[in-house]
Amino acid sequence: MSNIAESDRQGGLSTAKAAERDWRHPSERPLRAFILDNRAALGTLGVFVVMMAAFMIANPVVFTTWNLYSSVLTTLPVALFVVVPLVFVVTSGEIDLSFPATMGFASWVFALVVQAGYSPFLGILAALATGIVLGFLVGTLVVYAGLSSLIATLGMNFLLRGLIQIINEGKSTALVTLSQSWAYTIFSSQVFGIPVQIFWAIAFVIFAALLFNRHQFGAQVKIVGDNPDSAKQMGIDVNWVRVKVFVFVGIGAAIAGTFSTMINFTWWPTAGDGYLLPVLASVFVGGTPTWGGVGTVIGGAIGALTVSFIQTGVVAAGLSGFYVQFFNGLIIILSLLGHRWNQARYR
Amino acid sequence: MGETLIELRNITKSYGSVYALGGVNFSVERGEVVGLIGDNGAGKSTLIKILAGVVKPTSGEILVRGEPVSGWNAARSRDAGIETVFQDRALAVQQTIVRNIFMGRELTGFLGWLKVGKEVSEASRLMREIGFTSKVFTPKSIVGQLSGGERQGVAIARAIYKQAELIVLDEPTTALSLTETAKVFHFVRQVRASGRSILFIGHNIHHVFDIADRFVVLDRGKVALTANKRDVKSADQLINFMESVAHPGGLPGLEGAASSEHATQ
């Protein structure tokens, strides 16, 4: 019996040796290593390219006009500022559905400060502070009260939005002085026809990607989402990491809300509401799985780009607006199928 | 052997009227591998938890390098250099080897940014130190791609990085194949060669027999036998002894080694 085991082991060894001889480690092939490290993001990029190609073939002429891209580049940044922090939340194993109300709440504070005659820069700081406080509130509620983040943040979304509605009674705030301000020039004007907010959004995405991959915060977010028990045993303050993730969403939502108000010169009590589903879809189209531990910031950004282009693309391709939802759904389902095939889940 | 790293004197632990441990005496020397064997319910896990400081003993004394330590807890245990590797929940399997080794102790520079290059080189040094060399895996490989034995290696490398003097391995080979067990043994021997100690826990005597320098057999909360490897002829002899403990009736050849309290029972 031991002979059988012995020969079996040797057989296993010789094949293993052969495999080892033929094997070249990914680090010896930089391109291969890059592809392996960025599978999910590259998959999302593939989805985007295929989708755009389909639209362009349908109506090549429209896609040569700059206006089409300009309109997407105006609204995309707002989504990017919330999609990116949500990648962190989903990676940590939680979800946050309260960001639309946080967007509305923080931009309301921004509008109040500007309307009272103060500098828009002060308004931005006030909005950021509001976002941090609300994020902290939502985070502590979920983490320390031990509530399900799915339900608790849904509740917080209704609660905060309700507060906004009760106090404003549906009235919007026009910010007429905003267009002459420095803040507007820096954050919301156009440079050579390109909306300037896209540069801020790209900078934010790059910063967040570094935070995710090259910073202790990102490292701990992934570990907490992967194996909280182990993280606890190794001395990571799991609860505090989770709270920080919700604070990050608060910050992103505050920036997003403020940008959206600056683009429109007007604050509406519904500000941010329309972003809930497209932003969530972007995170998952981007290749961040639902089970926590892994995620991709760049993928999420490309996911947001994809989702932003669906509506414009469908109409530009010559289809009626009634097709938009259908294509939204199609892209989401196809992306999920693609990611499932593309990404292995390790247990 | 060398200096006594840790010593437990007359440790008892009772849950209500039930005694999980009834006066355990037990020590680990520097640079030795102690195999702790016992059936389910013998008190192995209680003993591990007491060593790790997460469970407080009802009575008894714990000495670190000959000095009694009062108020034994998890922090004291860590200060004494005791690191426990639990079998299945130790690693974040979707992360890289580097991220697991530095879990909770990331090497950071300015404002918490990671020193990735330094972490990778430090991780390869640790992997080499325990003999975890492979052309297939680098510190940047995902732990989920590793086999069970190799995963134990990552956990051991992490314990060494945490300056552990005594690494407690809780059933490290229970779910592993022969080849994987051989890998874990290889890591354990490397760790011993570096002058650290290992407490190797298992209920499979054959697993523990090959690797340990000394055996401690635990039975119903008491040390039933302490024996050096050179005094035991074979694993079967140990098995016979354990059977004789379970079904009293004498044991040829090992009476002298058996602890007196048990011989009188």
Q: Place B261 in a pLDDT band, splitting at 50, 70 and 90.
A: very low
**Average pLDDT, stretch B171-183?**
85
A15 touches chain B (CB under 8 A): no
Supply the pLDDT for residue A21: 54
By Cβ distance, the residue of A25, A230, A346 closest to B142 is: A346
Residue B98 has pLDDT above 90, yes or no: yes
Q: Place B85 in a pLDDT band, splitting at 50, 70 and 90.
A: confident
Neighbours of A7 (CB within 10 A): 10
Write the CA distances from B248 to A206, A295, B165, B204, B221, integer angstroms.
71, 59, 37, 21, 16
Residue B19 has pLDDT above 50, yes or no: yes
The pTM is what?
0.86
Q: For all residues of chain B together, what is the average pLDDT?
A: 84
Q: What number of residues does chain A have?
A: 347
Beta bridge partners of A215: B113
In the block, tokens 């990735």 appear at B116
The whole-angstrom separation of Cα A288 and Cα A282 is: 9
The whole-angstrom separation of Cα A140 and Cα A150 is: 14
Nearest-Cα distance to chain B for A22, in Å, is 10
Residue B256 has pLDDT above 50, yes or no: no
Supply the pLDDT for residue A71: 83
Is the CB of B103 less than 8 angstroms away from the CB of A215? Answer: no
Here the ipTM equals 0.84
Task: List pLDDT tens digits, range B53-66.
Answer: 888 899 999 999 98
Task: List pLDDT tens digits, range B31-47.
Answer: 999 999 888 778 888 88
**Average pLDDT, stretch B16-29?**
87
The whole-angstrom separation of Cα B122 and Cα B102 is: 10
A171 touches chain B (CB under 8 A): no
- Give the closest residue to A226 by CA, choosing from A177, A274, A289, A175: A289
Write the CA distances from A302 to A68, A77, A282, A287, B50, integer angstroms.
18, 12, 8, 10, 51
Residue by residue, DSSP assigns A120-144 as HHHHHHHHHHHHHHHHHHHHHHHHH
The whole-angstrom separation of Cα A108 and Cα A172 is: 10
Q: Assess contact for B174 and B202: CB atoms under 8 A.
A: yes
Extended beta strands in chain B, E state? 4-15, 18-29, 33-38, 59-64, 67-68, 82-85, 166-170, 197-202, 214-219, 222-228
Supply the pLDDT for residue A12: 47
Is the CB of A215 less than 8 angstroms away from the CB of B138? Answer: no
Q: Looking at chain B, which residue has its C-alpha nearest residue A224?
A: B92
- Give the closest residue to A281 by CA, choosing from A251, A246, A324, A314: A324
Cβ neighbors of B163 (< 8 A, separation 6 or more) are B81
In the block, tokens 């190794």 appear at A234
Q: Place B205 in a pLDDT band, splitting at 50, 70 and 90.
A: confident
Supply the pLDDT for residue B73: 87
A219 touches chain B (CB under 8 A): yes
Nearest-10 crossing angle of helices A297-316, A39-58: 10
Q: Place B113 in a pLDDT band, splitting at 50, 70 and 90.
A: very high
Residue B120 has pLDDT above 70, yes or no: yes
pLDDT, greater one: A16 or B26 = B26
Interface with A, mutate which of B94, B101, B111 (most A CBs under 10 A): B94
Q: What is the DSSP letter of B135?
A: S
Supply the pLDDT for residue A98: 96
Report A:27-46 residues touching B (Cβ under 8 A). Answer: 27
Is the CB of B112 less than 8 angstroms away from the CB of A216? Answer: yes
- Give the closest residue to A224 by CA, choosing from A237, A211, A207: A237
Supply the pLDDT for residue B132: 85
Residue B260 has pLDDT above 50, yes or no: no
Residue B202 has pLDDT above 50, yes or no: yes
Interchain CB contacts (distance < 8 Å): A and B: 84
By Cβ distance, the residue of B103, B178, B179 closest to A234 is: B103
Supply the pLDDT for residue A23: 53
Write the CA distances from A253 to A168, B23, B50, B70, B125, integer angstroms.
20, 60, 47, 51, 43
pLDDT mean for each 10 residues of chain A (347 residues): 45 52 59 82 91 90 85 90 97 96 96 93 96 97 94 96 94 87 84 88 97 96 94 92 97 96 92 93 94 94 94 87 90 90 81
Supply the pLDDT for residue A4: 44
Task: List pLDDT tens digits, range B133-169.
Answer: 877 888 889 999 888 888 988 999 998 888 889 999 9
